[in-house]
Chain A
Amino acid sequence: MVVMRSWKASPLGKGRLLKTSVNLATSAMEEASIDLNDIALIVHSGIYRQHFRTEPAFATHLQGALNIKCTTLTQESSHCFAFDVSDGSCSAHVALDAIADLLPQFNGKYAILCVGDERPNKQTEWPHTPHCFVAILALEGNGPRLERVSFDETKAVPERVIASHFDTNKKANVSIEYGEYQPQPVHETELEFSGHQNWLSGEHMHAFHQRLDGKTDAFTHRIVDRTGKTTSAHWER
């Protein structure tokens, strides 16, 4: 499993996701004294992108903006791999688990996890408070250790879908949420934390890691998305 060497989070405000991600990643790497050239993997998770962008992966934009190994391949050169994963608000845990699975196979020492969404366009009514969360993950070292991520889809109601379509009146794509439900509120104990069911994944990670500071024991972060899907990340100090 992986260790979270450093992490930074911030509300997005009126800023763009890429700019905020770059600032947070730079700050997190400086804090942990990690060199850009030691980054082998970048994974982004989130569901809303500017103009409902589908390609390339947001992680490639972060890699490019940080100028991580943007060089031509040689037999000796060191490189990085970048991609996105998503699964509603549970996206962040999916990304964490993918990093934990893949990083041991990569030559570099560290991975960047970036979690965040942004309002796709001004025509989309968007009730969310977007947050960006960036962490530097390693196979070893000091920091909270991710023991495992577990997934429970048995209570999921897949009909609670979010989709976008072209609104002829607004002359733009807009997103729409389908399906009624009663969102679960924030739940917190000494041993676990679960955020509000309406939060996006960046807000989940932001809120969880505020609580992780100062913890000395095992701690579980649970995310329940609007379909009822549940993921749990089990951390130890």
Chain B
Amino acid sequence: MVAGGTHAQILSFAGYLPEKEILTESFAKLGDLPASIEFKRLTGINAHREAAEDEGSLELALKAGQKALERCGIPREEIDLVISCSVSQLSPELHQHISPSFATSIAEHLGIYGAQTFDVANACSSMMTSLMIAEAKIKAGKIRHALIVSGEHITSLIDEAKSKNLWLHSKAIASMTVGDGAAAYVVGPSKDAKRMTFSEPFTFAQYNNHCIGEASRERPGPRMRTKAKQLQLGVLDNLSEFLQRSMKHMELEWSSIDHVYSHPTTPKAVKKGAKIAEDSVGSIKFLHNDSKDIGNTASTSHGVLLEMSREAGHLKEDDTAILVSFGSGLAMLALHFHLPKGVEGWS
């Protein structure tokens, strides 16, 4: 038990993308998909990254985790909690990790000993859910610092989808929007209650069968079946009310938020959501809709996009950002935070 009565803040974040780029045209050119679907035009995704042969979810997570720890400078012995929120948990050979928590392996590889470790599963909202749990534990005085980390090795979903007759298995088509990536955040105490605030979190379980990920029954690795249009409608139908309620709950003015990041199911979907947001809560200062060359990297998506923004020189310390998260289930929640000290100088 550490001193309670404190608040929380994000001390560092990191995103990692594998080097290998796969163009959408190489696996979903016009004529590859049923009903003349122009996949690239429909989604706005030009490419994604694919993990190297020796990279699985663990190896990806370690790269982001290591970088996040270096950036905040917190010694390993002061990390009291490690949460892994990877949906995939796949080795390079596509073996799925089950027990103990994936976070146990990550902590061991990063040299974090004695910390509590566990996994959170909430689809693409797992990262935001984990950050919310870490924030609550810091506020309760149970921990000093937490590492929240995820590596998503999910591009085998594309191979699985391509192995099917997509005329008969149209729900597999959404699997072709994904990309591999990793992200991590270090969360620590703050005296300022406004450094990190969450929206009310919602699960609209009426959509809980619209995206199912599980082991393939025919080949190594996972498969995903998605009612993409209906799921997107579920998000869009609730988005306006969600943003209005969130601003009220977090005591924020939308116009004061410097950077907006939405979970990037596709760049086209984010554009649709942004239109609803602008009609509902006002114009967006800076929408970071930058997933056209990386695809949807699941739980890591916001961290990866933050890293890209940082590399492009768009982020300054104490700027504010909101991360809006959607995950199958359907989970919706948002995190508003101040960018960490020294973010401009990170390498």
Structural contact, B201 and A229, CB atoms closer than 8 A: no
7 other contacts beyond A72-B238, A82-B329, A166-B220, with CB at 8 A cut-off?
A: A56-B327, A60-B330, A64-B206, A73-B245, A83-B126, A85-B119, A161-B100
Q: Is A68 an interface residue (CB 8 A)?
A: yes
* CA distance in complex: A102, B108 (Å): 27
Residue on B nearest A151 in the bound complex, by CB:
B116
Minimum distance in angstroms from B304 CB to a CB of chain A: 19
Instruction: Enumerate chain A residues within 8 angstroms of B220, measured Cβ to Cβ.
Output: 165-166
Question: What number of A residues sit within 8 Å (CB to CB) of B?
Answer: 65
B322-341 interface mask toward A, CB cutoff 8 Å, 1 = contact, 0 = none? 00000111110100000000
Q: Which residues in chain B, 95-153, are within 8 Å of chain A measured between CB atoms?
A: 95-101, 103-105, 108, 113-126, 129, 132-133, 136-137, 140, 142
Q: Which residues of A contact B (CB under 8 A)?
A: 42, 47-57, 59-61, 63-64, 68-75, 79-91, 94, 98, 101-102, 105, 107, 120, 151, 153-154, 156, 158, 160-166, 171-173, 175, 225-227, 229
Instruction: Enumerate chain B residues within 8 angstroms of A47, measured Cβ to Cβ.
Output: 98-99
Minimum distance in angstroms from B231 CB to a CB of chain A: 10
Instruction: Enumerate chain B residues within 8 angstroms of A120, measured Cβ to Cβ.
Output: 215
Beyond A101-B140, A166-B220, whether A60 also contacts B331 by CB under 8 A is yes
Structural contact, B213 and A57, CB atoms closer than 8 A: no
Residue on B nearest A59 in the bound complex, by CB:
B203
Instruction: Enumerate chain A residues within 8 angstroms of B126, measured Cβ to Cβ.
Output: 83
* CA distance in complex: A177, B345 (Å): 45
Structural contact, A86 and B118, CB atoms closer than 8 A: yes
Q: Is B216 an interface residue (CB 8 A)?
A: yes
Q: Is B278 an interface residue (CB 8 A)?
A: no
Contact of B96 (CB < 8 Å), options: A59, A105, A163: A163
B220-242 interface mask toward A, CB cutoff 8 Å, 1 = contact, 0 = none? 11101000000000000110011
Structural contact, A56 and B211, CB atoms closer than 8 A: yes
Residue on A nearest B249 in the bound complex, by CB:
A107
- Which of B86-94, B162-170, B281-289 touches A? B86-94
Structural contact, B202 and A79, CB atoms closer than 8 A: yes
Structural contact, B242 and A73, CB atoms closer than 8 A: yes
